[in-house]
Amino acid sequence: MKKEHLFGYVPAIVTPFDEKGEIMEDAFIDIFEFLLARGATCVCIAGDNGESWSVSAEERGRLVRLAKDISRGRVPVMMGVSAPTIEASLSYIRAAEENGADVLLSMPQTYVLKASEAELMARFDKVSAATNKPLVLYNSPRRMGFSLTIDQTETLLNNHNVIGIKESQRDFFYHTHLLERLGDKMSVMTGPCHYIMPAFGLGAKGFIATGPEFTDLLPSKMASVGVGEPGELYRKTHYQLTVLYELLMGTATWPASFKAALNLIGQPAGVPRDPVSPATDVDIDKIKRCFDNLGINYV
């Protein structure tokens, strides 16, 4: 997989758990097909939406293998390998290698709250030494406790098999400079979904974001609308993405609200796994009111 193959709508699929915390494989298949029908160009296993913190290496491998069987070559499969310790990341990499993942998504060391330049570079040296698979960097200051600088991103790009980045920095100044400097050298994938439409106009190749599952405009159409002259459809889509982002990020504990929202539109997302509790009735009523205001149908 090369940077040219990383574009468009790359959803981070939820891991459907039942009330006992068991993975529901039939539900996973249904959701995977739903995402392909929305225009997914690649699907990410064990991202934040997939409750990566609670999914073991064995379970990640199992989900990758299932995704590959479902896909039958229609889309590549990405797998998250981020972890606080290198030992955990290496176990995830082995699971990805053994089960046929096409590309890996990796933050620096998560939840450590900071990393020196030497620590940061050493982590990716070890990740790269363990695999020949292409890497997509993941810059998420909320989960890392710090942000990659554009200089650091460029260093990692130049020294490792990096084809892209999921950029979840919530600063559009940062996005603007990243796209100007590195947008032609790597595939920049937008994270915060309220940045999707303007980022396309600045050169982003796609998005790994939460919210496009529910919009009127198919995610596969957002690139063509985003690079065109802003009009009514652009504004409506941007507004829906913005409000959905505020709703889902501001309700319950992630990803309980996202799973509840998927369940409302008929997708069997199940419930979160411990330590996250399901969305409450009050949370679900809030989601329904927002869907009503946005004209989104639900069951």
In a domain, 186, yes or no: yes
- Note whether 148 and 173 are within 8 A (CB): no
Per DSSP, helices labelled H in the chain are 25-37, 57-71, 86-99, 117-129, 141-144, 150-159, 172-182, 196-202, 222-226, 232-249, 256-264, 281-294
Domain enclosing residue 105, as ranges: 3-226
**Interacting residues of 172 by C-beta distance below 8 A, sequence separation 6+:** 195, 198
In a domain, 46, yes or no: yes
Confidence (pLDDT) at 146:
85
In a domain, 287, yes or no: no
In a domain, 192, yes or no: yes
Confidence (pLDDT) at 4:
96
To 5 degrees, how large is the angle CA 116–CA 125–CA 115? Answer: 15
In a domain, 290, yes or no: no
Q: Say which residue the tokens 């505020």 belong to.
A: 246
Confidence (pLDDT) at 143:
81
* Sequential pLDDT tens for the chain (299 residues): 999 999 999 999 999 999 999 999 999 999 999 999 999 999 999 999 999 999 999 999 999 999 999 999 999 999 999 999 999 999 999 999 999 999 999 999 887 778 899 999 999 999 999 999 999 999 998 888 889 999 999 999 999 999 999 999 989 999 999 999 999 999 999 999 999 999 999 999 999 999 999 999 999 999 999 999 999 999 999 999 999 999 999 999 999 999 999 999 999 999 999 999 999 999 999 999 999 999 999 98
Structural domain tally of the chain? 1
CATH of the domain at 183: 3.20.20.70
In a domain, 288, yes or no: no
In a domain, 147, yes or no: yes
In a domain, 56, yes or no: yes
The model carries a pTM of 0.95
